[in-house]
Amino acid sequence: MSQPLLPDDPATIGGHRLLARLGAGGMGVVYLARSATGAPAAIKVVLPELADEPDFRARFRREVAAARRVVSPWAVPVTGAGPDDPTPWLATAFVPGPSLGEAVHRSGPLPTHSVRALGRMLAAALRAVHEAGIVHRDVKPGNVLLAVDGPRLIDFGIARSTGHTALTATGLVAGTPGFLSPEQAEARPGALGPPSDVFSLGCLLAYAATGRLPFGEGTAQAVLYRTVHDEPDLAGIAADDGAAPRPAADPAAAGELLALLRQCLAKDPAARPRAGEIEARLAGDPPSGGAWLPPHVVRDIADRSARMLALPDIDRTVVDRPGGAVTPPHTGPGRRSVLALGSGGAVLALAGGGAALWAATRDDGAAPAGEEPWAVGVHADLSGPGKAAGKAHEQGVRLAVEQYNARAGKPFALRLRTADDGGSLRRAQAAAQALVRDRRVLAVVGPTTDACVDGAVAAYEEALLPMLLVKPGAFRLVGGRHRVPLHCRPLVYALGFGLAVHLTRQEKVSYPGLMQDRTADPVAWQITQGVADGMRKARTRFYPRVVPAGLDDLGPQVTDILHAKVDSFVYAGPAEGAAGVARGLAAAGFDGPRVGPEDVAETVFLDEAGAAAEGWLLGTSFVDPQRLPATASFTRAFRRRFGAPPGRYAVEAYDAANLAIDQLVRGVRDGRPPERARLTTLLRAARYRGLTKTYVFNRENGRFEGEVCYLHRVENGEFRFLGAVPGGD
């Protein structure tokens, strides 16, 4: 939905009169505007702090140049740009229709003739893109807008010239999981070319035809894994594909579409057709015009276009009241409300949406008189299944804040603000919004689970509120599109690599078995990849086995691995599965090294495995502060404050809070701490010596630069902390 302009929004940009806000995100704000000729336009305006970063300005300049080189009736044209202006901006023609994703979500799959026509016109757009020497890299339903005369391909924000060196770090995935090619999913930038866009087009057309993602739902890493290793789900497109086709489908046309999609979705880029070939093979389909779409979609486009004609010349502004409430001021007679556009509008795809939340919570660093002190937030599961770790987070941060407030001569006071998500994705969104709306909260430690991170990151990203992640370790947020996450721990991949270092250097293994239990993907997959890469680096062969999710009995898989005569066993999966594996290994008399990830370090493993758990080694990101000399003073202070020993992750949360406090103090100007956006930059550039480790981050993506892996061994029915893997950091 569009939102009224705010008081500090400019009236014009590059000769365009601004009418309303259409979206806001970590990159900037997108406005609905009219050009000097009266034509509607979507204008992306970059945040000032990004404009000062040379790398970002170079990327934005590349985006503008890429978009200008594409000439096609099915691609939204650039109508103006100021990449070198003090505040960079980019204007495109405005398309009032819904996105393909919105249309399918609301009304279901498109008929076969519509999908074929869609494929023909988008293939023509991609042909123009590729002839301009560009790879789009993000062909997805949200980047295709529907108009009566045909679709429009938008958003060249991550497009790059063929052979151009990416500005993002090697090994990161750019694009949208579910619509990425295998070469993108494996982060092989050198292999990206026009065939990658063709694969994405195949995913998009399969989604339009079935209403399903061809490689399934789930976490980003699970979808990426299936993209690389599994066949696409194309059931229901044609009668010969094992499922009934959709009603009113021409069997011959549907069969041809199915065959074409299978070729587009080939794992080998060389086996995929070119965009021009796809265009030619679909050339006999209905011409552009309303007949290519179902009547209800045409009506939706027409309704939106009609409302567009009522767009005002100057829109209302809003008053930002204390406490974050945003309300429109009184307007005189004749004022009209701004056009309410759906989330499929062109600029929402460019900026990511969420204008209302951003407007209500953005932080300009101002602190109205009489308000509470500045705050550090804790976003955690404090009442659900992960409440033990959540409580440890809260107590660790609370101790850090109280110790800071006890300092003499501190430049400002701090308070603690907590938000409980109960381990729920839905509640995680509300918890994040509550912290974002408190404009005195400058940094947040948490959330405490990977799933809740997924639910909260959009709110924090739009508000540019730094989030320091202590427990979550999946690398789904390491992509360059996110600016606020800071990984205050090694990623789970690094733990897998550390386990491989220990096995090959200390245990001297020569042929380990490696079981990936997909019940725990994507974490299990990332652990497995880390172990496998570590083994390859040590030139140690291994026996891998991937087992489906949800198996109650892993006995046959354990037997298979043991029949390969392995001398050690690595299990990547949940604690319950590890208990079954441990019992199976014990029953077989296997006494070689047995290793698992930190997800196994739970009491359920000890309870269900019993004596079979003895001797297991677990690689973790957390320490036992009661057994680490460097944390002795913390342990004493914690006991005095809370009357009990620190829980798991308490000292790591304490370190993260002190890291944030350190940068808040270092960034003080005129007695005031840095605002959220500046603190984000300061944190990524920081080097901080904590009690558990030295914190250094990749400035591009916030990834923790160390590769430290801590070991725990099960001894006498307890987890005994052994310290860091030698040589693993």
Q: Which of 75, 89, 215, 202 is nearest to 147 (CA)?
A: 75
- Structural domain contains residue 702: no
- Structural domain contains residue 484: no
Query: Is 277 found in the same domain as 399?
Result: no
Q: Is the dihedral of CA 646, 652, 655, 661 positive or negative?
A: negative
Domain span including residue 70 = 12-96+310-333+340-361
Q: Where are the beta strands (DSSP E) in 280-333?
A: 319-320, 326-327
Q: How far apart are CA 515 and CA 571, in angstroms?
A: 5
Residue-wise pLDDT tens digits, 65-87: 877 888 889 998 888 899 888 88
Query: Is 231 found in the same domain as 202?
Result: yes
- Structural domain contains residue 369: no
> Choosing from 8, 55, 84, 138, which is the catalytic residue?
138
Length of the chain: 729
- Structural domain contains residue 41: yes
Query: Is 113 found in the same domain as 90?
Result: no
Model pLDDT, residue 338:
28
Model pLDDT, residue 2:
62
Query: Is 241 found in the same domain as 107?
Result: yes
Q: Are 349 and 143 in contact (CB under 8 A)?
A: yes
| Pairing of β 28-34 and β 687-689 | unpaired
Model pLDDT, residue 239:
55
Q: How far apart are CA 121 and CA 606, in angstroms?
A: 59
Query: Is 436 found in the same domain as 537?
Result: no
Could you say which residues of the chain have pLDDT below 70?
A: 1-2, 25-26, 156-175, 189, 239-249, 284-290, 303-371, 475-481, 727-729
CATH code of residue 27: 3.30.200.20
* Total number of domains in the chain: 4
Model pLDDT, residue 588:
96
- Structural domain contains residue 485: no
Average pLDDT, the chain: 83
Query: Is 544 found in the same domain as 475?
Result: no
φ/ψ region of 192 (left if φ > 0, alpha if ψ in -120 to 50, else beta) reads beta
- Structural domain contains residue 118: yes
Token pair of 367, please?
Answer: 């602190």
CATH code of residue 229: 1.10.510.10
Residue-wise pLDDT tens digits, 675-691: 999 999 999 999 999 99
Give the helix/strand (H/E) hosting 498: helix 492-501
Query: Is 20 found in the same domain as 72?
Result: yes
Q: Which of 228, 226, 232 is nearest to 205 (CA)?
A: 232
Query: Is 432 found in the same domain as 385?
Result: yes
- Structural domain contains residue 6: no
Q: How far apart are CA 533 and CA 418, in angstroms?
A: 39
Query: Is 110 found in the same domain as 90?
Result: no
Query: Is 539 found in the same domain as 553?
Result: yes
What's this model's pTM, rounded to 2 decimal places? 0.55
- Structural domain contains residue 613: yes
Query: Is 82 found in the same domain as 207?
Result: no
Q: Are 212 and 233 in contact (CB under 8 A)?
A: yes
Model pLDDT, residue 319:
37
Place of tokens 């010239």: 161
Other Cβ atoms less than 10 A from the Cβ of 534: the count is 24
Q: Where are the beta strands (DSSP E) in 564-652?
A: 568-572, 594-597, 617-620
Model pLDDT, residue 31:
87
DSSP state of 367: -
CATH code of residue 659: 3.40.50.2300
Query: Is 466 found in the same domain as 432?
Result: yes
Q: Is 155 one of the catalytic residues?
A: no
Q: How far apart are CA 43 and CA 698, in angstroms?
A: 31
